[in-house]
Structure 1
Amino acid sequence: MKQSPPFVLASASTARLKLLKTVGINPMVCSSNFDESQITETNPLKLVQILAQCKAEIVAQNYQDCLVLGCDSVLAIDGQIYGKPDSPEQAIARWQIMRNNHGTLYTGHALLDGKKQKTLLSCGVTKVYFADIDDHTIEAYVKTGEPLKCAGSFALEGKGSVLIEKIEGCHSNVIGLSLPLLREMLQKLDYSIQSFW
Structure 2
Amino acid sequence: MRFVLASQSPARLNVLRTAGIDPVVHVSGVDEDAVAAALPDPKPAEVVVALAAAKAEAVLPVVTAELTEAVVVGCDSMLLMDTPDGPEIVGKPANTEIARQRWLLMAGRTGELLTGHAVVRISGGQVVARAQETMSTTVRWSAPSEAELEAYLASGEPLHVAGGFTLDGLGGWFVEGIDGDHGSVIGISLPLTRRLLSAVGVSVVDLWVK
What is the alpha-carbon distance in structure 2 between the residues aligned to residue 60 and residue 70 of structure 1? 11
* 8 Å contact from structure 1 (residues 32, 59) kept in 2: yes
- 1:24 equivalent in structure 2: 20
Q: Secondary structure at the match of 1:50?
A: helix
Structure 1 stretches of at least 4 aligned residues deviating more than 4 Å after TM superposition: none
Q: After superposition, what is the alpha-carbon deviation per residue over 1:107-156, rounded to whole angstroms, capped at 9, x for unaligned?
A: 00000012252110111110001102222221111111111110010110
Q: Is the 8 A contact 1:44 1:81 kept in 2?
A: yes
The percent identity for this pair of structures is: 40
CA distance in 2, matches of 1:97, 1:114: 43
Q: Which residue of 1 aligns with 2:187?
A: 176
Which of 162, 169, 174 is equivalent to 1:158?
A: 169
SS of the residue corresponding to residue 177 of structure 1 reads coil
Match of 1:55 in 2: 55
1:107 and 2:115 matched = yes
The alignment's C-alpha RMSD in Å is 1.2
The answer to whether the Cα contact below 8 Å between 2:130 and 2:200 also exists between their aligned partners in 1 is no
- The offset of 1:195, in angstroms, is 1.1
Unaligned runs of 5+ in 1: none
Give the C-alpha shift of residue 183 in structure 1.
1.1
Would you say 1:196 and 2:207 are equivalent positions? yes
CA contact (8 A) 1:96 1:135 kept: no
Q: Matches of 1:135 and 1:80 in 2, distance apart?
A: 25
Contact 2:28 2:59 in 1 (8 A): yes
The Cα of 1:192 is off from its aligned counterpart by 1.6
Structure 2: 5+ residue stretches without partners: none
Aligned residue pair count: 193
Q: What CA distance in whole angstroms lies between the structure 1 residues aligned with 2:168 and 2:144?
A: 19
The one-character-per-residue Cα deviations of 1:56-104 (angstroms, maximum 9, x if unpaired) are 0010121123210000000011211110001111111110011011100
Q: 2:54 & 2:135 partners in 1: Cα distance? A: 17
Bigger shift: residues 39-48 or 146-155 = 39-48
Deviates more, 1:149-158 or 1:180-189: 180-189
Q: Which amino acid aligns with 1:128?
A: V
Report the Cα distance in structure 1 between the residues aligned to 2:144 and 2:55, rounded to whole angstroms. Answer: 35
Which structure 2 residues correspond to residues 1-197 of structure 1 after superposition, within 5 A? 5-38=1-34, 39-40=36-37, 41=39, 42-64=42-64, 65=68, 66-78=70-82, 79-115=87-123, 117-197=128-208
8 Å CA contact retained: 1:52, 1:108: yes
Q: TM-score, normalised by structure 1?
A: 0.94
